[in-house]
Amino acid sequence: MRDGWAKDAGSNTVSNTVSNTALDAALDAASTDTARSGDAAARGEIRRHPGSPFTVEPWCVRETELDLNTLAQSESVFALSNGHIGLRGNLDEGDPHGLPGTYLNSVYEIRPLPYAEAGYGYPESGQTIINVTNGKLIRLLVDDEPLDVRYGTLHSHERVLDMRAGTLFRDMTWTSPADDTVRVRSTRLVSLTQRAVAAICYEVEPIGKPLRLVVQSALVANESLPQPGKDPRVAAALESPLVCEEHVARRAGVIMVHRTKVSGLRVAAGMDHVIDSPAPTAVEVESTEDVGRVTIACVLRPGERLRLVKFVAYGWSSQRSRPALHDQVVAALAGAKRTGWEGLLAEQRAFLDEFWAGADVEIEGDDEVQQAVRFGLFHILQAGARAERRPIAAKGLTGTGYDGHTFWDTESFVLPVLTYTRPSAAADVLRWRQMTLPLAAERARQLGLPGAAFPWRTIRGQECSGYWPAGTAAFHIGADIADAVLRYVDATEDVRFERETGLELLVQTARLWRGLGHYDAQGRFRIDGVTGPDEYSALADNNVYTNLMAQRNLRGAADVAERHPDVAADLDVTPTEIESWRQAADSMYIPYDELRQVHPQSEGFTDHAVWDFEQTKPDQYPLLLNFPYFDLYRKQVVKQADLVLAMHVCGEAFTFEQKVRNFAYYEPITVRDSSLSAGTQAVIAAEVGHLELAHDYLGEAALTDLHDLHRNTRDGLHMASLAGGWIAAVQGFGGMRASRGRLDFAPRLPSAITRLAFRVRYRGRLIRVTVTPQEAVYELVEGEPYEIGHHGERFILGPREVRRPIPPAPHHPRPAQPPGREPRRRGAVQEAGS
């Protein structure tokens, strides 16, 4: 079909149909190298996710045809990152696209946060991640016809995200409107070993007859972007945010240096190339303020292949000079070229081999979840591997959702995964939090509080959230950061980190709680007027999660200060202050509803009217888009796990019977309008015996983006929900708990999962746990013998594996969820009473 694109009825799926018999033969002859493009997919042997463009495979995510309706989702799913550089999975030629995206961690522009009425302490400006210089672009002209999949005929199109190789592979065959056919293959990576480097191997060959081919490799700044929203102020801030300071064309490369208009950050980008062609090539290089271009022209016969390796490097700084950044990019390109394309591939594979050896989760019985949990682990690694004292945003570096901000999600969901799989990445995020302590202390002073008040959402450490009760009063983020410190130190015994980073974070957050709370007439330490994890409740008194986490924060600060009195003295910590922390922790008020025999989410919560779920229509979820917040705040309706999260993170504060009753109480009022909820609900469901329900929630957490469950994956991946897949598998079905040097497991499986195996790192050891319905097998892969627990039994795990039987799960009736908010059932057998 010419001058348009062939589509399936009612869709924007580009057709893969080939009608010319001669062309069929030519394509067959040109397709002998099919190992990387997937023979099994071509034979139709790979199952596809229902309603999703992706196939179900254990170690990759494959898209076997190009659907323009899901292009933006695919760009997020196929994003590559190393925590410093992020490249959305845009097509090589740039068009069509859902959202172009090239990001550098913490490169942002400032935009105003206006209010209808001013208020003391309201943040006046926000920070928004920007699309920096795009180095992914490689355009192809076939006898003067630009390759654009919307025109001519696209015979085949496949993309594969390989989670063991760390690459995005693309294979396509296209005929232009002038009946010229080419096969194009590209492989893209963002280096996990060379922090500043990305690379693309681009190959093109003619099919059927000789063709004149022109490849244009580009660097483009200030790309045109889709409208970011209804607020024109946001659009104005992001429209052409980069001002050119330098552009240089040299040999087969270009260097460009820009500065952001308002935030004043300097960004450098460069590209260089290695060209391999059996025919003579003409090469031209040019640069302007916003475009650098290398053009390669040649004539190839069928069977000949032009191969272009493009090396791209980035650097940025708020302080370093233009020449320094220029030289950094030149050096990074030189290092990448010295390594070469094959060397970069080998380094990437070796890095990932080491990671998977210590982090893989194997699930038998649910192929979709197996793939999704690995997909989540891969993206969590990408988000933090080379962040190096920079934050991990809620969307990582996969899209512009939430303006690229980091929230409490990082410490509470992402860092637990990294702590037990790649602990150095967790430490780097916490070092970034320490770097922002002066800003957090300044914010606390503005609020009339001691210590440090960390921002609800930020990129560089300043509060970027306009006033909002569910965010402004969510002081629990300080305790979440402290909890991440305590977890990391417990898992690694990193004394240097504890002294140089951990203690200061613990002290300043403990000081906040001591100033925020007060003693009542009964001698109870209360924390009033705060918001817990549930954003459908705000300005509540004595939120159980917040108070328990503050209690842990206060005790942890006291313990660490006493272990390192010299460092504590440098922070002006006195014995009297330490005693005040312990007294507040010991007197912390934890509300309990004696009448209903459950813990209220916050004081008085269980006395509120229950939301009218029966009259709430399915299309009125999420509730925040259809009902006023004031109504949500005064009703019993829960956006995301709050009290249930408290039972997960602070499980020692609850008896088993309380967990059973609490979980049964909160399930019918939790609507999961947040992607943060399902992973936590899975953990507690598994602990109290609802194994089939836990499996359902595991699937929801892990498949959030592959199934686009919230219909917003186009804006970037949900990092915390992806982490929730690991959390649900390891801490839910594996029953893993770790604290104060004690490592315990209480594994049980749902009916459909026949085997679960996972690996965790703890105190210099690598432990592998394999679970079947009948028994658990514990193996010490690395390190010295260590005492661990299995369903309450303690034993020393040494060189020989240890096998233990799994006791039956307790039986309770399956709790109901709000009408229409039940998770999709995954298991074949349901619980008794369901």
What 3 state SS string does 314-338 have? EEEECCCCHHHHHHHHHHHHHHHHH
pLDDT at 834 exceeding the cut of 50: no
Q: Which residues contact 402 (CB under 8 A, 6 or more apart)?
A: 393, 394, 395, 457, 716
- Given a contact cutoff of 8 angstroms between Cβ atoms, the answer to whether 776 and 804 are in contact is yes
- Given a contact cutoff of 8 angstroms between Cβ atoms, the answer to whether 692 and 751 are in contact is yes
d(CA 747, CA 743): 13
d(CA 509, CA 453): 7
d(CA 433, CA 415): 13
Conformation bin of residue 437: beta by default, left when phi > 0, alpha when psi is -120 to 50:
alpha
Mean pLDDT across 700-726: 97
Distances, alpha carbon 702 to alpha carbons 373, 528, 590, in Å: 6, 35, 32
pLDDT at 9 exceeding the cut of 90: no
Tell whether 409 is in a known binding site.
yes
* Better-predicted residue by pLDDT, 643 or 831: 643
d(CA 352, CA 732): 25
Name the token pair of 423. Answer: 């602990």
Q: Which residues share a beta bridge with 53?
A: none
> pLDDT averaged over the chain?
93
Sheet containing 138-142, strands listed edge to edge, beginning at the edge strand earlier in sequence: 145-146, 138-142, 211-220, 291-300, 282-287
Tell how strand 609-610 and strand 635-636 pair up: parallel
What percent of the chain shows pLDDT beyond 90?
A: 88
Which of 490, 509, 604, 591 lies closest to 545 in space, CA to CA?
591
pLDDT range class, residue 228, cuts 50, 70, 90: low
d(CA 314, CA 270): 7
The pLDDT tens digits for 344-374 are 999 999 999 999 999 999 999 999 999 999 9
Tell whether 640 is in a known binding site.
yes
Q: What was the pLDDT predicted at 247?
A: 98
Q: What was the pLDDT predicted at 124?
A: 85
pLDDT range class, residue 540, cuts 50, 70, 90: very high
Sort 216 into a burial class: Cβ within 10 Å, 0-12 / 13-18 / 19+.
Answer: middle
Mean pLDDT across 760-778: 98
- Given a contact cutoff of 8 angstroms between Cβ atoms, the answer to whether 262 and 237 are in contact is yes
- Given a contact cutoff of 8 angstroms between Cβ atoms, the answer to whether 780 and 760 are in contact is no
pLDDT at 44 exceeding the cut of 60: no
d(CA 452, CA 466): 19
Name the token pair of 611. Answer: 């939301």
The pLDDT tens digits for 300-323 are 999 999 999 999 999 999 999 999
Name the token pair of 416. Answer: 């637990």
Name the token pair of 526. Answer: 């209360």
Q: Which residues contact 148 (CB under 8 A, 6 or more apart)?
A: 93, 95, 96
Distances, alpha carbon 776 to alpha carbons 56, 359, 365, in Å: 27, 18, 17
Mean pLDDT across 44-51: 69
Residue 603 bears catalytic tag: no
Q: Which residues share a beta bridge with 126?
A: 111
- Given a contact cutoff of 8 angstroms between Cβ atoms, the answer to whether 677 and 640 are in contact is yes
Q: What was the pLDDT predicted at 320?
A: 97
What's the CATH code, domain 21-355?
2.70.98.40
Which of 329, 432, 433 lies closest to 386 in space, CA to CA?
432
Q: Which residues contact 457 (CB under 8 A, 6 or more apart)?
A: 402, 403, 405, 406, 407, 463, 464, 465, 471
Sort 499 into a burial class: Cβ within 10 Å, 0-12 / 13-18 / 19+.
Answer: middle
pLDDT at 792 exceeding the cut of 90: yes
The residue type of 639 is: K
Tell how strand 80-81 and strand 167-175 pair up: unpaired
Q: What was the pLDDT predicted at 828?
A: 58
Which of 135, 82, 126 lies closest to 105 in space, CA to CA?
82
Distances, alpha carbon 96 to alpha carbons 140, 148, 156, 336, in Å: 14, 8, 16, 30
Mean pLDDT across 554-575: 98
d(CA 462, CA 831): 48
The pLDDT tens digits for 173-217 are 999 999 999 999 999 999 999 999 999 999 999 999 999 999 999
Distances, alpha carbon 365 to alpha carbons 585, 753, 758, 806, 832, in Å: 45, 4, 15, 18, 21
d(CA 581, CA 42): 64
Q: What is the DSSP letter of 389?
A: S
The 3 state secondary structure assigned to 174-198 is: EECCCCCEEEEEEEEEECCCCCCEE
Q: Which residues share a beta bridge with 793?
A: 790
- Given a contact cutoff of 8 angstroms between Cβ atoms, the answer to whether 191 and 199 are in contact is yes
d(CA 420, CA 465): 31
Among all chains, which residue has been given the structure tokens 């219909």?
711
pLDDT range class, residue 722, cuts 50, 70, 90: very high
Name the token pair of 808. Answer: 């039956």
Conformation bin of residue 4: beta by default, left when phi > 0, alpha when psi is -120 to 50:
left
pLDDT range class, residue 118, cuts 50, 70, 90: confident
First to last CA, the chain: 53
What phi, psi does 165 have (nearest 5°)? -85, -25
d(CA 130, CA 380): 21
Mean pLDDT across 83-111: 97
- Given a contact cutoff of 8 angstroms between Cβ atoms, the answer to whether 751 and 827 are in contact is yes
Q: What was the pLDDT predicted at 41?
A: 46
Tell whether 659 is in a known binding site.
no
Count Cβ neighbours within 10 Å for each residue of 468-490 and write b for 16 or more, e otherwise: ebbbbbbbbbbbbbbbbbbbbbb
The 3 state secondary structure assigned to 101-162 is: CEEECCCEEEEECCCCCCCCCCCCEEEEECCCCECCCEEEEECCEECCCCCCEEEEEEEEEE
The residue type of 425 is: A
Q: What was the pLDDT predicted at 237?
A: 54
Tell whether 639 is in a known binding site.
yes
The 3 state secondary structure assigned to 335-359 is: HHHHHHHHHHHHHHHHHHHHHHHHH
Catalytic, out of 57, 63, 158, 535: 535
Q: Which residues contact 435 (CB under 8 A, 6 or more apart)?
A: 389, 461
* Better-predicted residue by pLDDT, 205 or 34: 205
Mean pLDDT across 558-569: 98
Instruction: Supply the pTM of this predicted model.
Output: 0.94
425 CB neighbour count, 10 Å cutoff:
23
Q: What was the pLDDT predicted at 798?
A: 98
Q: What was the pLDDT predicted at 261?
A: 95
pLDDT range class, residue 45, cuts 50, 70, 90: low
pLDDT at 648 exceeding the cut of 70: yes
pLDDT at 21 exceeding the cut of 80: no
- Given a contact cutoff of 8 angstroms between Cβ atoms, the answer to whether 102 and 87 are in contact is yes
d(CA 698, CA 742): 26
pLDDT range class, residue 470, cuts 50, 70, 90: confident
pLDDT range class, residue 75, cuts 50, 70, 90: very high
pLDDT at 6 exceeding the cut of 50: no
